[in-house]
């Protein structure tokens, strides 16, 4: 049939992907990757090119805000002072780019006065559990739009993470 989906960035064609015809009312996942070369406001669009009796739903556009950097806090739950590298080392390596500003801190150095608002994302790495006060503070951070990654380790308290709630909503 020759059906394609065109992906546009700021009205410039970035990629055209051939797809199988899509039945009316059906959905189809189309993996793609678009690299943003600058921060700020961008327009992202997708258009299905096909002979369709209802062309009104063949185009989709969204305005996006691309951040210039992502500020990441990595909380290290490893309490062992050894020569072996911490698990957070691998998280830092995976997130290392010029767009990410990464700060790493041991769990024992965080108290309820610690300010999370200056970060976009918190990564808890092998943190067994949080105190009630700290769990509430992290939950408020997430509720206000902050990101949270939890990398479980051998010492993690499964029941804590499975039952962690804030305002009657599960965090995980």
Q: How far is CA 118 from CA 18, 70, 74, 141, in A?
A: 43, 10, 13, 10
Q: Are 131 and 142 in contact (CB under 8 A)?
A: no
State the chain's mean pLDDT as an integer.
Answer: 86
Structure tokens belonging to residue 113:
């006065």
pLDDT digits (tens, 9 = 90+) for 76-129: 987 666 566 677 888 888 887 777 889 988 888 888 788 999 999 999 999 999
Average pLDDT over residues 53-72: 87
In sequence order, the 6+-apart residues with CB closer than 8 A to the CB of 161 are: 129, 150, 152, 172
Backbone angles phi, psi at 135, to 5 degrees: -60, -40
- The answer to whether residue 138 scores a pLDDT higher than 70 is yes
- The answer to whether residue 10 scores a pLDDT higher than 90 is yes
- The answer to whether residue 68 scores a pLDDT higher than 90 is no
- The answer to whether residue 52 scores a pLDDT higher than 80 is no
Beta strands in the chain (DSSP E): 4-9, 12-18, 40-49, 59-66, 70-76, 100-106, 121-125, 147-151, 165-166, 169-170
Say what the pLDDT of residue 121 is: 95
Say what the pLDDT of residue 36 is: 85
pTM, to two decimals: 0.67
| H/E run at residue 123 | strand 121-125
State what percent of residues in the chain have pLDDT above 70: 94
pLDDT band at 18 (very low <50, low <70, confident <90, very high): very high
Q: Is 95 left (phi over 0), alpha (psi -120 to 50) or beta?
A: alpha
């Amino acid at each position: 049939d020759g059906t394609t989906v065109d992906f546009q960035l700021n009205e410039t064609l970035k990629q055209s992907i051939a797809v199988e015809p899509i039945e009316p009312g059906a959905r189809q996942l189309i993996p793609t990757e678009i690299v943003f070369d600058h921060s700020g406001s961008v327009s992202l669009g997708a258009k299905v090119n096909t002979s369709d009796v209802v062309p009104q739903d063949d185009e989709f556009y969204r305005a996006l805000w691309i951040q210039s950097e992502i500020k990441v806090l990595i909380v290290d739950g490893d309490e062992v002072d050894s020569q072996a590298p911490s698990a957070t080392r691998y998280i830092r390596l995976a997130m290392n780019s010029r767009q990410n500003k990464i700060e790493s801190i041991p769990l024992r150095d965080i108290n309820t006065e610690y300010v999370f608002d200056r970060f976009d994302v918190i990564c808890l790495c092998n943190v067994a559990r949080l105190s009630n006060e700290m769990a509430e503070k992290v939950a408020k951070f997430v509720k206000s739009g902050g990101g949270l990654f939890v990398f479980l380790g051998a010492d993690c308290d499964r029941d804590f993470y499975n039952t962690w709630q804030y305002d009657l909503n599960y965090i995980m």
